[in-house]
Chain A
Amino acid sequence: MLFAVAIFAPLLGSAIAGLFGKAIGDRAAMAVTILCMLLASGCGVSAFIELESGDTTAGVISLGTWVEAGTFHVDWALRYDALSAVMVAMVTCVATLIHIYSIGYMAHDENHTIWRFFSYLSLFSFAMLMLVSADNLLQLFFGWEGVGLASYLLIGYWYYRPSAGAAAMKAFIVNRVGDLGFALGIALVFFTFGSIDFSTVFGAVGQHQDAAYHVLGHTYRAYEVIGILLFIGAMGKSAQIGLHVWLPDAMEGPTPVSALIHAATMVTAGVFLMARFSPVLDYAPGALGFVTFIGATTALFAATVGCTQTDIKRVIAYSTCSQLGYMFVAAGVGAYQASIFHLLTHAFFKALLFLTAGSVIHAMSDEQDMRKMGGIWRLIPLTYTMMWVGNLALGGIPFFSGYYSKDAIIEAAWASCSLVGHYGFWCTVIAAFLTAFYSWRLIILTFHGAPRADHHTMEHVHESPAVMTVPLLLLAVGAVFAGWAFHDQMIGPDWKAFWGDAIQIAASNHVLHDMEDVPGWVSLTPLVVGLAGIATAYVFYMFVPGIPGALAAAFPWAYRFLLNKWYFDELYAAVIIRPVQYLAQGLWQIGDVTIIDGIPNGIAALTEDGSSQVVKIQNGSIAVYAFAMLIGLVLLVSIFLLFLR
């Protein structure tokens, strides 16, 4: 079965590279993982084409029983439908390109454990594929945690850098918060439906509409609670506002990791979860409203922060955060198809942007600060072009892929005709302006103007090797054409035929239909604001370079607010981290050192004390000894006569 091969081939590659990497060497480890990934992408794409052409039908591939405990039954099974097939095809293709790109990017790695890197990358690919092809929530959670683990390992790949270790831990711990919600959601799904199999759960959606939980005198609808808990899980994984703090720091990992995990695939797992659970979520309007609100806020928030960052990768990281917000807005207003569509196009152009940024960093001798770049566009023309392609797609310029998907989301937000939907509309429109602005700010700062790098670095600026540029070109093809190619099938009139049963929506949900009838100005707005953003960027950074500085000086509080990322890290440090540290310090000093250690130590001290007291009487004098004997005798006789008769 092609589909199963696509999923398990990366595991094989990862196992070989991970277990025998040291023995077989870096080159062999690279070869074996890339061969497995090529096999996986071939099978993944074939499986997708077969399904869409009608050669095979959607179904479930059972692999055996996992858990069997009373009424709790979980199988290892692969769900083969349009949603998972799209995701598998996309993940395998992007992952394969990034594997190949990594050959060039990691060539100068001072760590000399490149086999480890490739093993982790393949392990991540497997976990991600497991996530998207799961047939039940537990298996999905398995993949969910698997990608979290791989992400942790890869962010901390340069473990000897303290910042990388801290970033890896931050990502892992912040994700735990979301995972708690997810795990509770799974438990409630089982509690409500008596099963966590997707087929069973989705088939029973109609029967449990009125299910409710009564907690502390309040009544909550079951679907709303489940929806919100699952979304909390998604917030952690997809870096939505509040739980987004780990994503910018995750840029400590090697750039291919940022491209694969923190842009194209893993962070979109939350969006995938929303789409996968669409049959239930569509009956939870409250939860969907919450999703829209958070998504819209994130889109706007991350875009504002992206405008002030100076690290090239961090700009793109905030951009990712912002684009994920768009996807959640789409899911929140019921346009799940649009969210997956944007997920797909975003995967291509964001991977392209990251890899291009990686190429720039490579050219600039590992410099990531845009303030020390500039004036290199003639030196690395291919990279420069690729950056343009990626940003055109991201900015939503017509006929690039982002144009189709992003506009669809903005239109869907308007078409939802709800208050929160309009909030989403305005947030995404403003964010679209900011997106275009910071994208061209990035291009201009990085490639144009006078060179700000030192002489030594400038001498070494060079175009990346073919092993890095070919993946860029292939991703650029996706970034340009993916929107145009899938637009009609995914969100156009044919969407029912394309998605089949993979995305089920309520009868009342006709957002996709209403999208077509939005007023003309709504359709035009994204393009207009996008072009305005580009123009503003040119004015600010190319023609009148004094403006940004003047603005920052005029509104220092606003500038600092944005530069410090809305003070989220500081807020968490003050509200959570420091209190927890104080608590831990207290528990350690009082609970552990004073009480837990203190009791045994105290007893030991008492014992030693008792020891020295006891032997004091042993002074060597026979008279004392005899006296002690007699006293003892008298004591025993008294006890005997007084108490024991």
Chain B
Amino acid sequence: MNWTLALPEIVLAVLGMAILMFGVLQKRHNPFHLASMLTVGAFLVAGMLVIAGPEGLGYHGQFTSDPFSRFVQVLVLVASSLTVIASLDYNDHANLRRFEFPVLILFATVGMLVMAGASNLMTLYVGLELQSLSIYVLAAFARDELRSTEAGLKYFVLGSLASGLLLYGISLVYGFSGTMEFDKLAMTLADPTKVSAGLIVGIVFIVAGLAFKVSAVPFHMWTPDVYEGAPTPVTLLMGTAPKVAAMALLVRAMATPFGHLLGQWQQLIVLVSIASMLLGALAAIGQKNIKRLMAYSSIGHMGYVLIGLAAGTPNGIRGVLIYLVTYVFMNAGTFACIIAMRRRGRSLERISDLGGLGKTDPMLAMWLTVFMFSMAGIPPFAGFWGKYFIFTAAVQSGMWALAVIGVLTSVIGAFYYIRIIKVMYFDTAEAAFDPRSASLSTLAAVSGLFTTLFFVFPAPLVGAAEAAAKVLFG
């Protein structure tokens, strides 16, 4: 048994418990900042272990490590680190300076790493639940605030329902095929006579459970409410790392165990993708709260990502991975800007609060402009390249309708992204925001530079994504 395959997860979990102990025992100072720093350090260690670790299948086929899982794990670690950094400033001001916060993010991350490496339906479920449980708590972290607790409760109830669906699907698949391991499932399903209606229903249930996590239509209903209610750094987290992990899980589940049923689930993904793109584009138009707007925006983005999966080719998966990377950075950057929206200590969330930002804080306005252009898919920003790889893959697979709908909804989406830019530069100026903390400025700058300069050095990322994609549709 090659137990070192799971070394990053093990180390991260142990470090998490150590940080927890440290926080409990630390009496004199508030340990929030130190715990956050230690968490980022733990992510760094885990990241190095991921990169240096061996490849292979271990734990009796329950866990795997391959270029795909490593790509996703690194991305998840980056996203979680960005979240922790973003929370430093927010939690200070929102009176959430509690060391449990970074530790919960850490455990959620452990769950996500497990999800990325899962090669068994049971591992998949365990990783997903670890992640979900941590985030339920995080969503309700501002427990004195009605909105936050409501968000946590909603997420928990609906998430449990989704988990139930997922478990039910797993049991159906197991019942009709006799195995939960991805490899064996793939071998079994290679024979079309073994594909029964019950198995198909099971697959649909699994897709539904995972679609909930990536907030794809029609399992998206929780997203706007929870995004709006949860503390902003938690919203940032929900928008990035878990989306990456769940999407990776969906991709792996569809490609490896159910790869032979491509013809069937492909149409399912196409439907979900179209519905997500349309809803993401349409529903965001009327939004006045920028966090709700970002919720619908994320629904739309997941729709685009699903195009890559629907293509069912290595190029499609490569597109998915590149899109996720660009999405993580522009999302993190946008939320850094949202956290910076604060006047006299009060956080602001209305889009109209951004009025005249181009005059009062040109730097912040510039970065937010970069992110909005990138989200709208305007070259040369990173968001354009994500869409480019996705749409190219769709066209190569002959899915013209999907690509055309994608482009059309991008146009609709451009409206509300660019409206934010218009508000910042052309609307009457309001009073300036409070001074930004260095952590937010750094976060915005790092994300902004990545988004702006991605097109200059895309080769390493595209190469890694290509290697990762080959594992699934080699």
Contact = CB atoms under 8 A, between A and B. Distances in A.
Interface string B276-288: 0001001111110
Contacts of B204: 633, 636-637, 640
Given A615-B286, A625-B158, A636 B197 contact: no
A611 interface: yes
Interface stretch (A13-21, A424-432, A616-624): A616-624
B157 interface: yes
Interface in B267-302: 267-268, 271-272, 279, 282-287
A629 B218 contact: yes
A612 interface: yes
Residue from A633, A641, A643, A645 with most neighbouring chain B CB atoms (10 Å): A633
A639 interface: yes
Given A618-B283, A632-B218, A644 B201 contact: no
A63 interface: no
A611 B285 CA distance: 6
B154 A641 contact: no
Sorted from nearest, which 3 A-B pairs have the closest CB atoms?
A632-B218, A625-B221, A611-B285
B222 to A, nearest CB: 6
B282 A614 contact: yes
9 contacts: A611-B286, A618-B283, A622-B157, A625-B222, A632-B217, A636-B204, A636-B208, A640-B204, A641-B200
Contacts of B222: 625
Contacts of A611: 282-286
B218 A631 contact: yes
A69 interface: no
B224 interface: yes
A24 interface: no
Nearest to B160: A626
Interface string B156-179: 011001100100000000000000
B125 interface: no
A608 B207 contact: no
A614 B285 CA distance: 10
A585 interface: no
A641 B286 contact: no
A626 B157 contact: yes
Nearest to A628: B221
B68 interface: no
Contacts of B224: 618
Given A611-B282, A614-B283, 16 more contacts: A607-B412, A608-B286, A611-B285, A611-B286, A614-B279, A614-B282, A618-B224, A622-B158, A625-B158, A625-B221, A625-B222, A632-B219, A633-B165, A636-B204, A636-B272, A640-B204
B95 to A, nearest CB: 26
Given A629-B162, A640-B264, A645-B264, A622 B201 contact: no
A478 B238 CA distance: 94
B410 to A, nearest CB: 13
B264 A629 contact: no
Chain B CB count within 10 A is highest, among A610, A626, A640, A643, for A640
Interface of A: 607-608, 610-612, 614-615, 617-618, 620, 622, 624-626, 628-629, 631-633, 635-637, 639-641, 643-645
A254 B204 CA distance: 85
Contacts of A614: 279, 282-283
A150 B263 CA distance: 70
Interface in B172-221: 197, 200-201, 204-205, 207-208, 212, 217-219, 221
Interface string B422-439: 000000000000000000
A355 B154 CA distance: 93
A631 B222 CA distance: 15
B129 interface: no
Contacts of A633: 165, 204-205, 208
Contacts of A618: 221, 224-225, 283
Contacts of A639: 267-268, 271
Given A611-B285, A614-B282, A614-B283, A629 B200 contact: no
Contact of B268 (A620, A622, A644): A644
A611 B219 CA distance: 18
Interface in B322-375: none
B158 A629 contact: yes
Nearest to B416: A611
A617 B222 CA distance: 12
Contacts of A608: 285-286
Contacts of B162: 629
A482 to B, nearest CB: 68
B154 A644 contact: no
Contacts of A643: 267
A625 B151 CA distance: 13
Contact of A629 (B154, B221, B285): B221
Nearest to A609: B282
Nearest to A612: B286
B218 A628 contact: yes
Given A622-B158, A625-B158, A625-B222, A637 B286 contact: no
Contacts of A617: 221
Nearest to A627: B221
Contacts of B284: 611
Contact of A607 (B154, B271, B282): B282
Contacts of B208: 629, 632-633, 636
A636 B268 contact: yes
Contacts of B283: 611, 614-615, 618
B267 to A, nearest CB: 5
Contacts of B153: 622
Contacts of A632: 208, 217-219
Contacts of B225: 618, 620
